[in-house]
Structure 1
Amino acid sequence: MATTVQDAPRTTPDLDVRDAAKRKHPWRWLSAFIVLVFAAQLVKMLITNENFGWDVVASWLRAESIVRGLGVTLMLTVVAMVIGVVLGVLLAVCRISANPLLRGAAGVYIWFFRGTPTLVQLIFFYNLSALLPKLNLGIPFGPVFASFDTNTLITPLLAAILGLGLNEGAYMAEIVRGGLLSVDPGQREAGQALGMTNARIMKRIILPQAMRFIVPPTGNQVISMVKATALVSVIALSDLLYTAQSIYNRTFETIPMLIVVCLWYLAVTSVLYVVQSFIERHYSRGARHQAPSFWDFLRIRPKAQQGSAS
């Protein structure tokens, strides 16, 4: 009778770690020292340089005119983003449409507004009366029902809304289109196999998955829009920057007023960063890699490294 011979269990030799030492990081310590030196120098300059005018900054930070200008900035951001999102969704649908005319028209729109500077567009809308003295409302190539004076109708506020909103629509169109195309086509086919309508498929299947790719860049666009509103100061709209400029043109306190503007912009964008991080984490639930929170960016050591080191 044949006998079976079993292999002896394999044993791995114990790893001798008695002489092990931690890995040295000399460049890390050197870079940290350099950063601390520059940080100390910056703090010293902020404290000792009287040209910053911190007393002037404190007196103007919550002034009524500055707060009013901040309100105009926030209003412009909200209105322009609403126009941009709505217009972006419509353009994105046209871009993925089977109709070549709609596809081409949306493509030309996006090409023009993404290819020209926002500042030029704002100045163009502000001076629209030089091109069209009258704006007519009626049937194309037919009777005119109403006529408006362009110089009276296009105020600095309306020119700013048109310039920022129409420009933002071009960028949002590409963001929404990219998010919709990121969803596997099999998801739509599965919904059709279940007898769902196209609208229900878009609402229940496509959009929830696409939002994971749409929300992060949209949050970045909102933050960029807050800063882009500073461009409207060239068309004499009393936003935050224009208000500060009108003040330091009288008082000649340029640096303190610009610091006031920077502090308000930093405050608003920091709040938006926190809101964006919460929204991203909400839509990244169930994903393998969740979006980092706002506080993760302030950690000295990344969160993943902390977990691996423990």
Structure 2
Amino acid sequence: MSYVKLIKTLADGLKTAYKTSEDDIINILPENEENFDETKFLEAFLKLDKDRIEAIGQKGKDKFTEGYNKAKKEERVAFEKEIKDTFDIDEDLIGIDLVKKVVELKSETSKKGAGKLSDDEIKSHPTVIKLLTEKEKAHKDDIQKIKEDNEQVILGMKKERVFGNVSKKALALLDEMNPVLSENPKVANNQRNYLLDRLKGYDWQPTENDDDYIPLKDGKRVEDAHGHGISFNDLVKGAASDLYDFKQSDKRDTPPGGGSGGGSGSGNHKFKSEDEYAAYVTDTSIPLADRQKAKEDWNKQ
């Protein structure tokens, strides 16, 4: 891909994902390739991503506060209405004044015209205790629901952040495999996203150093037919091989281990690494029979 096409693709992505202004884009993506500063672009890109995540986090906090206040108000209005309906009170009373009215209606002292009850007498009255207990329980239930909703928001944010890193790593691996994509940058970008759509069907557990990711399905590590855990690279390359054709190499060396390179599938293949094996079996310039034989040899190896 030419530098012009590359910066256009990056610029479109920055505008769409991060709402980056034209001035900022020109600053980190100069028209002249000689003026491109890789370090400067990487720092600017990471800052944009960090600002986006922080904005999502603040939005989650604001949503929690808003939900808490709304639930608290609705719960109090409903509670006071229930009290008025129960004791047939038509007066426009709220809070402690409403509670005092209930006590006055229930108190024999009030019927005899005695003096007003003290705050301690009101608080210790069985009716008040019952009402406050029910109110406290309803309030705790509302707060618990808000907390659970907020935890789901935070969990979703973490999952989105992890998948963002998974996407970058997967697309970089896809580019190394040299897939056949459209010459139109917009169409090519949509084609590359086919792989990400496939990967969204998994959960991803970061390794200790956050330099790799373990694919999970239904909370369990994804395994092959032999019960061995499938690595990030293997899963991505396997998904890519189902979705794309790959450009043939201009010049191909003799298959590892002295494979014939012909259509017979003869010869034993010995691979130095998993990456070497993956590159071989996804190279469409190698006859299918050779690649099938390579898979058998790799499983034995």
In the superposition, the TM-score normalised over structure 2's length comes to 0.28
More helix as a share of residues: 1
Larger C-alpha radius of gyration, 1 or 2? 2
Q: TM-score, normalised by structure 1?
A: 0.28
